[in-house]
Amino acid sequence: MDKQKMFTIPELTKLFFVHTKLIAKTTLEYKFHRSLISVAIFCREMISIVTMYLIMIRFVSIKGWDMNEMLFLYSFLFISYSLFVFVFAGIRDFDAMVQSGELDRFLLRPLGLIYQVIASRADFSATLGHGAVGVILLIKTAGSVGIEWNLRNTLAYIAVILGGTVIQASLFMVSSCFSFWTVNTTNLRNLVFFNARRFAAYPLSFYPGVIRYLLIFLLPFAFVNYFPSLYFLNKPEVSILGGWIPYLTPVVGAVLFFLVYTFWKFGLKHYSSVGN
Protein backbone atom coordinates (compact mmCIF):
# COMPACT_ATOMS: atom_id res chain seq x y z
CA MET A 1 0.00 0.00 0.00
CA ASP A 2 1.24 3.47 -0.88
CA LYS A 3 2.06 5.25 2.36
CA GLN A 4 0.90 8.61 1.06
CA LYS A 5 -2.68 7.27 0.56
CA MET A 6 -3.07 7.25 4.33
CA PHE A 7 -3.53 11.02 4.14
CA THR A 8 -6.12 13.03 2.23
CA ILE A 9 -5.16 15.92 -0.03
CA PRO A 10 -6.54 18.55 2.42
CA GLU A 11 -4.50 16.95 5.21
CA LEU A 12 -1.35 16.97 3.10
CA THR A 13 -1.97 20.59 2.11
CA LYS A 14 -2.46 21.62 5.74
CA LEU A 15 0.69 19.76 6.75
CA PHE A 16 2.65 21.48 3.99
CA PHE A 17 1.66 24.92 5.30
CA VAL A 18 2.54 23.85 8.84
CA HIS A 19 6.02 22.91 7.61
CA THR A 20 6.32 26.22 5.74
CA LYS A 21 5.28 28.16 8.84
CA LEU A 22 7.91 26.39 10.94
CA ILE A 23 10.58 27.09 8.31
CA ALA A 24 9.54 30.76 8.28
CA LYS A 25 9.87 30.97 12.07
CA THR A 26 13.32 29.43 11.90
CA THR A 27 14.33 31.85 9.16
CA LEU A 28 13.07 34.88 11.09
CA GLU A 29 15.26 34.01 14.07
CA TYR A 30 18.12 35.48 12.02
CA LYS A 31 16.37 38.40 10.34
CA PHE A 32 19.48 40.48 9.65
CA HIS A 33 21.46 37.55 8.27
CA ARG A 34 18.62 36.42 5.99
CA SER A 35 18.00 39.98 4.85
CA LEU A 36 21.64 40.34 3.87
CA ILE A 37 21.42 37.13 1.86
CA SER A 38 18.36 38.45 0.01
CA VAL A 39 20.12 41.73 -0.72
CA ALA A 40 23.25 39.89 -1.88
CA ILE A 41 21.19 37.70 -4.24
CA PHE A 42 19.37 40.76 -5.55
CA CYS A 43 22.64 42.61 -6.23
CA ARG A 44 24.24 39.55 -7.85
CA GLU A 45 21.35 39.06 -10.26
CA MET A 46 21.13 42.77 -11.03
CA ILE A 47 24.68 42.60 -12.37
CA SER A 48 23.45 40.43 -15.23
CA ILE A 49 20.66 42.94 -15.87
CA VAL A 50 23.12 45.83 -15.97
CA THR A 51 25.33 43.85 -18.35
CA MET A 52 22.41 43.29 -20.69
CA TYR A 53 21.47 46.96 -20.40
CA LEU A 54 24.94 48.10 -21.40
CA ILE A 55 24.88 45.79 -24.41
CA MET A 56 21.47 47.00 -25.52
CA ILE A 57 22.18 50.73 -25.26
CA ARG A 58 25.07 50.14 -27.65
CA PHE A 59 23.18 48.08 -30.23
CA VAL A 60 19.61 49.44 -29.66
CA SER A 61 18.09 46.13 -30.76
CA ILE A 62 19.34 42.67 -31.61
CA LYS A 63 17.49 40.55 -34.18
CA GLY A 64 14.30 42.53 -33.61
CA TRP A 65 14.40 42.50 -29.80
CA ASP A 66 14.76 45.88 -28.08
CA MET A 67 15.81 46.52 -24.48
CA ASN A 68 12.37 46.39 -22.87
CA GLU A 69 11.49 43.18 -24.70
CA MET A 70 14.74 41.56 -23.58
CA LEU A 71 14.13 42.56 -19.97
CA PHE A 72 10.55 41.28 -20.16
CA LEU A 73 11.92 37.96 -21.45
CA TYR A 74 14.33 37.88 -18.52
CA SER A 75 11.59 38.60 -15.97
CA PHE A 76 10.00 35.19 -16.55
CA LEU A 77 13.17 33.44 -15.40
CA PHE A 78 13.40 35.36 -12.14
CA ILE A 79 9.74 35.19 -11.15
CA SER A 80 9.35 31.48 -11.91
CA TYR A 81 12.67 30.69 -10.22
CA SER A 82 11.63 32.61 -7.09
CA LEU A 83 8.50 30.46 -6.89
CA PHE A 84 10.61 27.36 -7.50
CA VAL A 85 12.96 28.02 -4.57
CA PHE A 86 9.97 28.70 -2.34
CA VAL A 87 8.07 25.49 -3.16
CA PHE A 88 10.76 23.12 -4.47
CA ALA A 89 13.89 24.09 -2.53
CA GLY A 90 13.96 20.54 -1.16
CA ILE A 91 14.55 19.19 -4.66
CA ARG A 92 17.33 21.73 -5.15
CA ASP A 93 19.01 20.63 -1.91
CA PHE A 94 18.31 16.92 -2.29
CA ASP A 95 21.95 15.81 -2.53
CA ALA A 96 22.61 17.51 0.83
CA MET A 97 19.77 15.46 2.35
CA VAL A 98 21.38 12.28 1.03
CA GLN A 99 24.83 13.22 2.35
CA SER A 100 23.54 14.12 5.83
CA GLY A 101 21.39 11.01 6.17
CA GLU A 102 18.18 13.05 6.35
CA LEU A 103 16.80 11.03 3.45
CA ASP A 104 16.99 7.85 5.57
CA ARG A 105 14.72 9.44 8.18
CA PHE A 106 12.22 10.40 5.46
CA LEU A 107 12.06 6.81 4.27
CA LEU A 108 10.91 5.67 7.73
CA ARG A 109 8.00 8.11 7.95
CA PRO A 110 4.40 7.40 6.84
CA LEU A 111 4.46 9.94 4.00
CA GLY A 112 5.52 9.84 0.38
CA LEU A 113 9.20 10.65 -0.10
CA ILE A 114 8.76 13.35 -2.75
CA TYR A 115 6.18 15.10 -0.55
CA GLN A 116 8.55 15.15 2.42
CA VAL A 117 11.43 16.42 0.29
CA ILE A 118 9.33 19.29 -1.04
CA ALA A 119 7.79 20.17 2.35
CA SER A 120 11.14 20.12 4.18
CA ARG A 121 12.63 23.22 2.55
CA ALA A 122 11.63 26.77 1.60
CA ASP A 123 14.32 29.28 0.68
CA PHE A 124 12.79 32.62 1.68
CA SER A 125 15.98 34.59 1.05
CA ALA A 126 16.34 33.39 -2.53
CA THR A 127 12.60 33.83 -3.09
CA LEU A 128 12.79 37.49 -2.08
CA GLY A 129 16.05 38.19 -3.92
CA HIS A 130 15.06 36.65 -7.25
CA GLY A 131 11.43 37.65 -6.92
CA ALA A 132 12.31 41.31 -6.38
CA VAL A 133 14.39 41.37 -9.57
CA GLY A 134 11.62 39.67 -11.55
CA VAL A 135 8.86 41.95 -10.29
CA ILE A 136 10.93 45.09 -10.96
CA LEU A 137 11.60 43.93 -14.52
CA LEU A 138 7.94 43.08 -15.06
CA ILE A 139 6.72 46.44 -13.76
CA LYS A 140 9.38 48.26 -15.77
CA THR A 141 8.58 46.56 -19.07
CA ALA A 142 5.03 45.14 -19.10
CA GLY A 143 3.46 48.51 -19.91
CA SER A 144 6.11 49.74 -22.33
CA VAL A 145 5.94 46.65 -24.55
CA GLY A 146 2.21 47.13 -25.12
CA ILE A 147 0.71 44.16 -23.25
CA GLU A 148 -3.01 44.41 -22.58
CA TRP A 149 -3.67 42.80 -19.20
CA ASN A 150 -7.12 41.43 -19.90
CA LEU A 151 -8.49 38.25 -18.34
CA ARG A 152 -7.07 36.01 -21.04
CA ASN A 153 -3.55 37.41 -20.80
CA THR A 154 -3.64 37.38 -17.02
CA LEU A 155 -4.62 33.70 -16.95
CA ALA A 156 -2.01 32.95 -19.60
CA TYR A 157 0.67 34.68 -17.54
CA ILE A 158 -0.25 32.72 -14.41
CA ALA A 159 -0.18 29.47 -16.43
CA VAL A 160 3.28 30.31 -17.76
CA ILE A 161 4.71 31.12 -14.32
CA LEU A 162 3.33 27.94 -12.78
CA GLY A 163 4.41 25.81 -15.73
CA GLY A 164 7.86 27.42 -15.77
CA THR A 165 8.21 26.68 -12.07
CA VAL A 166 7.45 22.99 -12.62
CA ILE A 167 9.83 22.80 -15.60
CA GLN A 168 12.68 24.17 -13.50
CA ALA A 169 11.80 21.84 -10.62
CA SER A 170 11.90 18.91 -13.05
CA LEU A 171 15.31 19.91 -14.41
CA PHE A 172 16.71 20.17 -10.89
CA MET A 173 15.13 16.82 -10.10
CA VAL A 174 17.10 15.20 -12.94
CA SER A 175 20.37 15.84 -11.10
CA SER A 176 18.72 14.91 -7.80
CA CYS A 177 17.91 11.46 -9.18
CA PHE A 178 21.60 10.73 -9.65
CA SER A 179 22.12 11.34 -5.92
CA PHE A 180 20.76 7.84 -5.36
CA TRP A 181 23.96 6.54 -6.97
CA THR A 182 26.63 9.25 -6.67
CA VAL A 183 25.45 11.16 -3.54
CA ASN A 184 27.03 14.51 -4.59
CA THR A 185 25.59 15.92 -7.84
CA THR A 186 26.63 19.58 -7.59
CA ASN A 187 28.57 19.62 -10.86
CA LEU A 188 25.79 17.84 -12.74
CA ARG A 189 23.23 20.26 -11.31
CA ASN A 190 25.28 23.24 -12.49
CA LEU A 191 25.66 21.69 -15.94
CA VAL A 192 22.02 20.73 -16.37
CA PHE A 193 20.39 23.79 -14.87
CA PHE A 194 22.46 26.92 -14.37
CA ASN A 195 24.44 26.78 -17.61
CA ALA A 196 21.28 26.19 -19.63
CA ARG A 197 19.55 29.01 -17.74
CA ARG A 198 22.23 31.45 -18.89
CA PHE A 199 21.39 30.65 -22.50
CA ALA A 200 17.68 31.15 -21.76
CA ALA A 201 18.32 34.77 -20.79
CA TYR A 202 18.43 35.63 -24.50
CA PRO A 203 15.99 34.84 -27.34
CA LEU A 204 16.42 31.51 -29.11
CA SER A 205 16.83 33.32 -32.41
CA PHE A 206 20.27 34.46 -31.20
CA TYR A 207 21.63 30.92 -31.21
CA PRO A 208 22.56 28.25 -33.76
CA GLY A 209 20.29 25.28 -34.34
CA VAL A 210 21.93 22.86 -31.89
CA ILE A 211 21.37 25.19 -28.92
CA ARG A 212 17.80 25.88 -30.02
CA TYR A 213 17.00 22.17 -30.07
CA LEU A 214 18.70 21.77 -26.70
CA LEU A 215 16.55 24.48 -25.08
CA ILE A 216 13.35 23.20 -26.68
CA PHE A 217 13.55 19.41 -26.49
CA LEU A 218 16.20 18.41 -23.95
CA LEU A 219 16.32 21.24 -21.39
CA PRO A 220 13.08 23.05 -22.30
CA PHE A 221 13.81 26.52 -20.96
CA ALA A 222 12.29 27.87 -24.17
CA PHE A 223 8.86 27.14 -22.67
CA VAL A 224 9.76 29.02 -19.48
CA ASN A 225 10.30 32.39 -21.12
CA TYR A 226 10.98 32.48 -24.88
CA PHE A 227 7.76 31.03 -26.33
CA PRO A 228 5.56 32.86 -23.77
CA SER A 229 7.37 36.12 -24.61
CA LEU A 230 6.58 35.62 -28.30
CA TYR A 231 2.92 35.45 -27.37
CA PHE A 232 2.80 38.44 -25.02
CA LEU A 233 4.99 40.61 -27.27
CA ASN A 234 3.01 39.54 -30.35
CA LYS A 235 6.15 38.68 -32.27
CA PRO A 236 5.79 37.53 -35.92
CA GLU A 237 6.57 33.93 -34.94
CA VAL A 238 3.28 33.78 -33.02
CA SER A 239 1.29 33.54 -36.26
CA ILE A 240 3.15 30.31 -37.01
CA LEU A 241 3.09 28.77 -33.55
CA GLY A 242 -0.43 29.79 -32.57
CA GLY A 243 -2.05 31.54 -29.60
CA TRP A 244 -1.94 28.41 -27.44
CA ILE A 245 1.76 28.90 -26.62
CA PRO A 246 1.33 30.05 -22.98
CA TYR A 247 -0.88 27.09 -22.17
CA LEU A 248 1.65 24.66 -23.61
CA THR A 249 4.15 25.59 -20.87
CA PRO A 250 2.24 23.87 -18.02
CA VAL A 251 1.67 20.85 -20.28
CA VAL A 252 5.40 20.56 -20.95
CA GLY A 253 6.02 20.98 -17.22
CA ALA A 254 3.57 18.22 -16.31
CA VAL A 255 4.94 15.79 -18.90
CA LEU A 256 8.54 16.51 -17.94
CA PHE A 257 7.81 16.12 -14.24
CA PHE A 258 6.10 12.77 -14.88
CA LEU A 259 9.08 11.48 -16.88
CA VAL A 260 11.60 12.64 -14.30
CA TYR A 261 9.49 11.28 -11.43
CA THR A 262 9.49 7.88 -13.15
CA PHE A 263 13.29 8.04 -13.21
CA TRP A 264 13.20 9.17 -9.55
CA LYS A 265 11.28 6.03 -8.52
CA PHE A 266 13.74 3.88 -10.46
CA GLY A 267 16.68 5.51 -8.67
CA LEU A 268 15.00 5.12 -5.26
CA LYS A 269 14.83 1.34 -5.79
CA HIS A 270 18.60 1.31 -6.16
CA TYR A 271 19.34 3.58 -3.19
CA SER A 272 21.40 2.30 -0.29
CA SER A 273 21.92 4.32 2.87
CA VAL A 274 25.03 6.52 3.18
CA GLY A 275 25.43 5.11 6.68
CA ASN A 276 25.29 8.38 8.68
Assess contact for 113 and 106: CB atoms under 8 A. yes
Whether pLDDT at 3 is above 70: no
Candidates 146, 134, 160, 176; CA nearest to 253 is 160
* pLDDT for 115: 93
Whole-angstrom CA distances from 196 to 42, 166, 276 are 20, 16, 34
State the DSSP H helix or E strand holding residue 199, giving kind and residue range, or none if neither: helix 195-200
Domain that holds residue 88: 3-269
Which pTM was predicted?
0.91
Q: How many domains, in total, are found in the chain?
A: 1
Question: For residue 207, what are the contacts with CB-CB under 8 A and spacing of at least 6?
Answer: 199, 215
Q: In Å, how far are 9, 16, 42, 183, 254 from 28, measured between CA atoms?
A: 29, 18, 19, 30, 33
20-66 pLDDT, tens digit each? 888 888 887 888 888 999 999 999 999 989 988 887 787 767 778 88
Is 206 part of a structural domain of the chain?
Answer: yes
Query: Do the domain assignments include residue 188?
Result: yes
Residue 276 located in a structural domain: no
Round to whole Å and give the CA distance between 153 and 223: 16
Instruction: Note the pLDDT tens digit of each residue in 218-263.
Output: 999 999 999 999 999 988 877 666 677 888 999 999 999 999 999 9
Residue 275 lies in a domain: no
Q: What is the pLDDT of residue 42?
A: 96
Is residue 223 in some structural domain?
yes
